[in-house]
């Protein structure tokens, strides 16, 4: 997904921009560029491909001297990944350059209008209309020109704009796309992601929708949508850039998988006080709620599918899980008695934001479970529960998913207690089980040293089935997604009982089937499904409690987890399956942290 950065100060801008863009690489991109103001002119460099190519082309920025500039990594939406379509885009008179995150929905009509007015377009992008609009409206006042131009835009944008007439100024604007200012001493920055700022400053301002800001080396001034100066709170970023680096692991994904016990502990610890789940500021009137809807995308959605079991069990409120990309087209049955739970690691997923807005407009209150502080979803939510997982860099989420699950468990316990549907003794027992999750997760990571060997057996598979029932099925959904997205092996999750209704036709000699067998209440049923696929020649890899004799007698291979109460088992059961996907992808030589065609945060619908 696109990323933007900007710098104005006394140092050479280009090397700082290149470094900022490197920090955004994890988001996925296909081209990059920077523009720097030097000697009263905009100098530009763009490449299709990696930041390293841009660094080479500009001799690490030396070929673009100047102390004010903007940069961009592009993930193609409108027009192929080419140098011409890469940002920054410049005006016909060469005075303005623009970088943009988001999508301008009315770009086609604006393009037509601007072409009729004589503007020449160099790219196929939606963004280019912005720079021509700014040129058209510019009468010596950049702020006025940016405000007039952005008033013509429909869609989402985080914009960074420079003009050679104001050589040490940058203008930025935000609408439905993240934009953060970095406050330095004698220098200032902006970026679409705080990761690109922290090596230079920890003092940041999160812009809100409709706001603008003007940056110069001397300071920053934020304006509201009417152009009036406003004061904004400066927040301090507490995590270290080291925390976002690999720390000795071969891949961010491996590092993040091993961090999960600690991350889950961070989700739980501040919320359990004096033996009670305490969710600060959560004054939801649960007695008024007759339905809970969980919405999210991808793994976050699958976390919701697992969490549903715990919430329904402990609250006896019906929980519906809805893909965010589908929800708002379904004329959803949502009203003031619905509690919406929104899950998002990044807090910036466009479909999830849209679904949330739709439900809020129908009267639902939204509880967001989010990792990134100050993200759009966190801000839009009526209540927010941060997962405190720390920065997640690998595109394939791991600690994001397990901490979302944990937050749902916390909510289930909290709501069950509040509603009186969870009795005191059971409540205390479950709190104690929840507190032991980090330890059990660590055991699950430690008790499967044979995963790299298993990966050598399964990495050549054309396809894999992941089967399970009930809570095991919800985990199978996430396990199959992990396998697909990083190893590129076709993987399909099936409710085990559904096999005989069609899918078993695909099971042949040597077909890999991963059978999730951790829900003991329905174990016998899953066992009979294992026997069915074995009878047709499948190779079965079972995930089970260590030492479970029934499983040991019927599968070919095993992944083990320690005994966990079924209600919370998903957070432990997924761990060896994430590891399996990782080692299979490694065997296949895949780009694990940046799988092809994927982006870390999907900020377009
Ligand atoms: O940032 P979010 O949690 O909203 O992201 C949702 C999905 O895009 C994300 O979980 C995606 O499915 C991951 N690639 C899965 O590993």
Q: 157 in helix, strand or coil? A: strand
DSSP state, 33? E
DSSP code per residue over 189-223? EEESSGGGTTTT-SEEEEPPTT-EEEEETTEEEEE
Average pLDDT over residues 136-156: 95
Residue 599 CA to ligand 1 centre (angstroms)? 9
> Residue with the nearest Cα to atom 12 of ligand 1?
298
pLDDT tens for residues 532-568? 999 999 999 999 998 777 777 789 999 999 999 999 9
Return the top range by mean pLDDT from 193-197, 483-487, 500-504, 517-521. 483-487
Task: Quote the pLDDT of residue 41.
Answer: 96
Average pLDDT over residues 288-294: 97
71 to 3, 6, 16, 94: CA distances (angstroms) = 8, 6, 10, 17
Lowest-pLDDT choice from 21-30, 146-155, 224-233: 21-30
> Residue with the nearest Cα to atom 4 of ligand 1?
344
CB neighbourhood size of 41 (10 A): 13
- Band of the pLDDT at 399, cuts 50, 70, 90? very high
Phi then psi dihedrals of residue 593, to 5 deg: -75, -25
Pairing of β 155-163 and β 89-90:
unpaired
Task: Quote the pLDDT of residue 241.
Answer: 65
Choose one of 351, 397, 594 to mutate for the ligand 1 pocket test, by most ligand atoms within 8 angstroms of C-beta.
Answer: 397
306 to 228, 369, 392: CA distances (angstroms) = 47, 14, 21
- Band of the pLDDT at 215, cuts 50, 70, 90? very high
Residue 25 pLDDT > 60, yes or no?
yes
Q: What percent of the chain has pLDDT over 90?
A: 81
Among 443, 354, 371, residue whose Cα is nearest residue 407: 371
Task: Quote the pLDDT of residue 283.
Answer: 85
Average pLDDT over residues 172-179: 91
Prior bond of 88 cis (ω within 30°): yes
CB neighbourhood size of 151 (10 A): 10
Average pLDDT over residues 152-161: 93
Choose one of 602, 603, 604 to mutate for the ligand 1 pocket test, by most ligand atoms within 8 angstroms of C-beta.
Answer: 602
539 close to 556: Cβ distance less than 8 angstroms: yes
Length of the chain: 605
Query: Tokens 């080419």 label which residue?
Result: 82
- Report residues whose beta carbon is within 6 angstroms of any ligand 1 atom: 297-300, 344-346, 349, 352, 395-397, 400, 485, 598, 601-602
Task: Quote the pLDDT of residue 102.
Answer: 85
Residue 48 pLDDT > 70, yes or no?
yes
Residue 242 pLDDT > 80, yes or no?
no
Among 475, 548, 481, residue whose Cα is nearest residue 515: 475
- Band of the pLDDT at 183, cuts 50, 70, 90? very high
Residue 27 pLDDT > 80, yes or no?
no
Residue 156 pLDDT > 70, yes or no?
yes
pLDDT tens for residues 366-379? 999 999 877 889 98
Residue 226 CA to ligand 1 centre (angstroms)? 35
- Angle (CA) 143-37-130 rounded to 5° is 45
For residues 70 and 173, what is the distance between their CA atoms, to the nearest angstrom?
Answer: 13
275 close to 418: Cβ distance less than 8 angstroms: no
The two three-digit tokens of residue 194, written as one number: 């705080």
Residue 244 pLDDT > 60, yes or no?
no
For residues 335 and 457, what is the distance between their CA atoms, to the nearest angstrom?
Answer: 51
575 close to 445: Cβ distance less than 8 angstroms: yes
Query: Tokens 């921009």 label which residue?
Result: 17
Task: Quote the pLDDT of residue 330.
Answer: 86
Dihedral, CA of residue 374, residue 379, residue 383 and residue 385, to nearest 10: -20
507 close to 522: Cβ distance less than 8 angstroms: no
For residues 80 and 554, what is the distance between their CA atoms, to the nearest angstrom?
Answer: 51
CB neighbourhood size of 346 (10 A): 24
Give the global pTM: 0.76
322 close to 293: Cβ distance less than 8 angstroms: yes
CB neighbourhood size of 456 (10 A): 11
> Residue with the nearest Cα to atom 11 of ligand 1?
298
- Band of the pLDDT at 24, cuts 50, 70, 90? confident
Task: Quote the pLDDT of residue 245.
Answer: 64
Average pLDDT over residues 97-121: 94
Residue 342 pLDDT > 70, yes or no?
yes
- Band of the pLDDT at 470, cuts 50, 70, 90? very high
Residue 324 CA to ligand 1 centre (angstroms)? 12
Query: Tokens 């070919």 label which residue?
Result: 556
- Please list the residues that pair with 293 across neighbouring strands: 320, 340
For residues 252 and 254, what is the distance between their CA atoms, to the nearest angstrom?
Answer: 5
Average pLDDT over residues 189-214: 94
CB neighbourhood size of 554 (10 A): 15
pLDDT tens for residues 248-278? 688 999 999 999 998 999 899 889 988 999 9
Active site residues: 2, 600
Query: Tokens 């402990």 label which residue?
Result: 314
- The residues, any chain, with a CB within 8 Å of residue 355's CB and separated by 6 or more, are 295, 322, 324, 325, 327, 328, 342
> Residue with the nearest Cα to atom 8 of ligand 1?
298
469 close to 497: Cβ distance less than 8 angstroms: yes
Pairing of β 89-90 and β 96-104:
antiparallel
CB neighbourhood size of 552 (10 A): 12
Mean pLDDT across the chain: 93
Lowest-pLDDT choice from 125-129, 155-159, 317-321: 155-159
Residue 49 CA to ligand 1 centre (angstroms)? 24
Query: Tokens 């003092």 label which residue?
Result: 203
Residue 381 pLDDT > 80, yes or no?
yes
Residue 361 CA to ligand 1 centre (angstroms)? 24
Among 479, 534, 467, 469, residue whose Cα is nearest residue 507: 534
505 close to 533: Cβ distance less than 8 angstroms: no
Among 68, 33, 20, 393, residue whose Cα is nearest residue 180: 20
For residues 472 and 451, what is the distance between their CA atoms, to the nearest angstrom?
Answer: 20
Lowest-pLDDT choice from 285-289, 425-429, 470-474, 500-504: 500-504
- Band of the pLDDT at 454, cuts 50, 70, 90? very high
Average pLDDT over residues 103-124: 94
For residue 380, is it left (φ>0), alpha (ψ between -120 and 50) or beta? alpha
Q: Which residues of 286-306 are buried (b: 16+ CB within 10 A; e: fewer)?
A: beebebbbbbbbbbbbbbbbb
């Amino acid at each position: 997904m696109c990323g933007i950065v900007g710098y104005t100060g006394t140092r050479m801008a280009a090397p700082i921009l290149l470094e900022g863009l490197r920090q955004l690489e994890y988001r996925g991109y296909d081209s990059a560029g920077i523009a720097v103001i030097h000697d009263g002119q905009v100098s530009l460099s763009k490449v299709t491909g990696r930041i390293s190519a841009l660094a080479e082309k500009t001799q690490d920025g030396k070929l673009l001297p100047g102390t004010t500039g903007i940069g961009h990594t592009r993930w193609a939406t409108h027009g192929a990944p080419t140098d011409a379509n890469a940002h920054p885009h410049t005006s016909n008179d060469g005075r303005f350059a623009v970088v943009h995150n988001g999508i301008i929905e009315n770009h086609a009509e604006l393009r037509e209008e601007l072409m009729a007015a004589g503007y020449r377009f160099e790219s196929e992008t939606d963004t280019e209309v912005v720079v021509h609009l700014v040129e058209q409206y510019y009468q010596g006042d950049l702020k006025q020109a940016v405000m007039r131009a952005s008033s013509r835009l429909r869609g989402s944008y985080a914009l960074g704009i420079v003009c050679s007439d104001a050589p040490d100024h940058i203008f930025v604007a935000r609408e439905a796309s993240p934009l953060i200012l970095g406050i330095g001493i004698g220098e200032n920055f902006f970026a679409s992601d705080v990761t690109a700022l922290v090596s230079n400053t920890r003092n940041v301002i999160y812009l809100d929708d409709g706001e603008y800001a003007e940056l110069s080396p001397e300071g920053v001034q934020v304006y509201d949508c009417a152009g009036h100066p406003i004061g904004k709170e400066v927040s301090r970023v507490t995590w270290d850039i080291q925390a976002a680096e690999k720390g000795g692991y071969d891949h961010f994904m491996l590092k993040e998988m091993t961090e999960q016990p600690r991350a889950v502990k961070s989700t739980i610890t501040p919320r359990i006080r004096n033996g009670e789940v305490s969710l600060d500021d959560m004054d939801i009137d649960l007695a008024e709620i007759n339905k809970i809807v969980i919405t999210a995308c991808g793994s976050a959605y699958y976390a919701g599918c697992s969490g549903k079991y715990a919430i329904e069990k402990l609250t006896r409120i019906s929980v519906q899980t809805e893909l965010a990309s589908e929800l708002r087209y379904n004329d959803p049955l949502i009203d003031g008695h619905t509690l919406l739970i929104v899950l998002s690691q990044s807090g910036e997923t466009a479909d999830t934001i849209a679904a949330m807005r739709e439900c809020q407009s129908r009267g639902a209150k939204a509880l967001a479970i989010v990792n990134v502080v100050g993200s759009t979803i966190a801000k839009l939510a009526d209540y927010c529960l941060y997962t405190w997982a720390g920065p997640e860099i690998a595109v394939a989420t791991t600690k994001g998913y397990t901490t979302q699950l944990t937050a749902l468990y916390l909510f289930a316990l909290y709501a069950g207690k509040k509603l009186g549907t969870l009795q005191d003794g059971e409540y205390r027992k479950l709190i104690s089980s929840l507190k032991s999750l980090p330890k059990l997760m660590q055991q699950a990571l430690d008790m499967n040293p044979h995963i790299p060997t298993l990966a050598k057996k399964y990495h050549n598979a054309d396809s894999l089935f992941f089967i399970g029932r009930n809570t095991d099925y919800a985990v199978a959904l996430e396990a199959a997604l992990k396998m697909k997205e990083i190893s590129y092996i076709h993987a399909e999750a099936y409710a085990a009982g559904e096999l005989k209704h069609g899918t078993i036709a695909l099971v042949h000699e040597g077909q890999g089937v991963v059978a999730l067998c951790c829900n003991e209440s329905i174990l016998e049923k899953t066992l009979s499904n294992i026997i069915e696929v074995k009878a047709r020649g499948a190779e079965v890899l079972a995930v089970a409690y260590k030492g479970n004799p029934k499983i040991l007698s019927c599968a070919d291979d095993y992944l083990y987890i320690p005994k966990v109460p079924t209600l919370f088992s998903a957070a432990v059961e997924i761990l060896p399956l994430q590891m399996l996907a990782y080692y299979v992808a490694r065997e296949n030589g895949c780009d694990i942290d940046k799988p092809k065609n994927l982006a870390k945060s999907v900020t377009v619908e």
